[in-house]
């Protein structure tokens, strides 16, 4: 599932963290802009900034999260797991930071088929975020909580209903990122509930908000998710068009793994559109070494389809 690796860049440090003794000459807003444009450059810029920052300071945790988010979005599983394995031991870290670390660590463990350990850290994340959510009126905290529960095996219909209520409450808000995350998570839950008509609507709305935000990786994610739900509804022309757009935006965001995934699924859409020669040519361009393990069943299915 794409959302398994999806960028969950939702948890913002809003709790009190020990003050800086001397703020270094690090332009956080500039670093954030770099991270909005390119994941590899985000990791490199964060690595360059961290030695200049007081460890365990507010800024240090913020920069660490920028780096970790980028690594997660790049699907850099091994180096990210090495970092989260260390960070989960830090019981003095801020709540928001620990919650994100627990989520990442749990998902990486899940990918390694270590499900009991994965559930252990997901439960810790849910507990932390439930307490945190009760102490804040920030609507993003609710979205964070329900996003985590996607992977915690919760009541999908209940979570969908709660997010729908939040959507109505903030209907007139002009916060594009809030609306994007709402529609993205509503789309996730509708998909889990096999309500593909609703999922399609949410994916379309998420794309509209992503275009307003202008972040290439968010646009790519929105196009990819819309393309995938279009395939589930056999809307192959729409799917093919959105896989093209996703590939272009992922290239701008410098995400070769997601580009490869877009090529793979676009080849299927082309075949379904009776454009067999194009489908086979495109499939030949798929770098199989870049495909994550969870894409292997779809790879085999599409390979067999194209051999008919």
Q: In this structure, how many other beta carbons lie within 10 angstroms of the beta carbon of residue 301? A: 11
DSSP classification of residue 298? H
Q: What is the dihedral of CA 269, 196, 125, 94, to 10 degrees?
A: 70
Res 15: pLDDT: 35
Mean pLDDT of 21-35: 75
Higher per-residue pLDDT: 83 or 128: 83
Asked whether the beta carbons of 74 and 40 are under 8 A apart, the reply is: yes
pLDDT tens per residue, range 202-246: 999 999 999 999 989 899 999 999 999 999 999 999 999 999 999
b/e for 92-112, b at 16 or more Cβ within 10 A? ebbbbbbbbbbbbbbbbbbbe
Q: Which CATH class is domain 219-308?
A: mainly alpha
CA dist 157 and 38 (Å) reads 35
Q: Is 234 left (phi over 0), alpha (psi -120 to 50) or beta?
A: left
* Joined tokens for residue 302: 């599409």
Same fold, 1-12+25-132 and 219-308: yes
Domain ranges of the chain: 1-12+25-132, 219-308
Q: Tell me what the mean pLDDT of segment 260-279 comes to.
A: 98
Please give the CATH number for the structural domain made up of 1-12+25-132. Answer: 1.25.40
Q: What is the pLDDT of residues 36-59, one digit of tens each?
A: 888 889 999 999 999 999 999 989
pLDDT band at 291 (very low <50, low <70, confident <90, very high): very high
Q: For 76-80, 85-89, 239-243, which range has the lowest pLDDT when averaged over its residues? A: 76-80
Per 3-state DSSP, the chain is made up of helix, strand and coil in percentages (nearest 5) of 75, 0, 25
Cβ atoms of residues 31 and 45 within 8 Å: yes
Q: What is the mean pLDDT of residues 85-101?
A: 89
The Cα-based distances of 248 to 67, 223, 285 in angstroms read 23, 10, 15
Q: Which of 266, 264, 251 is nearest to 291 (CA)?
A: 264
> What is the tens place of the pLDDT at every residue in 174-193?
999 999 999 999 999 999 99
pLDDT 10s digits, 108-162:
898 888 888 988 998 888 888 777 666 566 788 778 778 777 766 668 998 899 8
């Amino acid at each position: 599932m794409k959302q398994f690796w999806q960028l969950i860049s939702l948890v913002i440090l809003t709790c009190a963290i020990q003050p800086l003794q001397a703020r270094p000459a690090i332009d956080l807003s500039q670093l954030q802009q770099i991270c909005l444009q390119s994941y590899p450059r985000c990791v490199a810029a964060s690595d360059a900034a961290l030695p200049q920052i007081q460890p365990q300071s507010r800024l240090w945790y913020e920069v660490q999260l920028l780096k970790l988010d980028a690594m997660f979005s790049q699907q850099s599983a091994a180096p990210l797991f090495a970092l989260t394995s260390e960070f989960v031991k830090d019981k003095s870290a801020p709540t928001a930071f620990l919650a994100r670390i627990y989520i990442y660590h749990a998902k990486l463990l899940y990918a390694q088929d270590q499900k009991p350990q994965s559930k252990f850290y997901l439960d810790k994340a849910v507990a932390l975020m439930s307490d945190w959510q009760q102490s804040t009126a920030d609507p993003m905290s609710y979205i964070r909580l329900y996003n985590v529960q996607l992977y915690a095996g919760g009541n999908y219909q209940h979570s969908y209903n709660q997010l729908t209520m939040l959507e109505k409450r903030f209907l007139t808000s002009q916060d594009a990122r809030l609306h994007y995350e709402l529609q993205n998570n509503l789309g996730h839950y509708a998909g889990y509930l096999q309500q593909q008509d609703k999922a399609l609507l949410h994916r379309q709305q998420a794309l509209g908000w992503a275009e307003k935000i202008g972040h290439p990786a968010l646009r790519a994610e929105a196009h990819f998710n819309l393309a995938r739900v279009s395939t589930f509804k056999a809307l192959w022309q729409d799917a093919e068009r959105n896989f093209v757009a996703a590939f272009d935006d992922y290239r701008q965001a410098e995400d070769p793994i997601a580009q490869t995934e877009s090529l793979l699924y676009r080849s299927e859409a082309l075949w379904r559109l009776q454009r067999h020669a194009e489908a086979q040519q495109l499939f030949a361009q798929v770098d199989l070494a870049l495909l994550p393990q969870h894409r292997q069943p779809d790879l085999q299915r599409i390979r067999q389809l194209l051999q008919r």
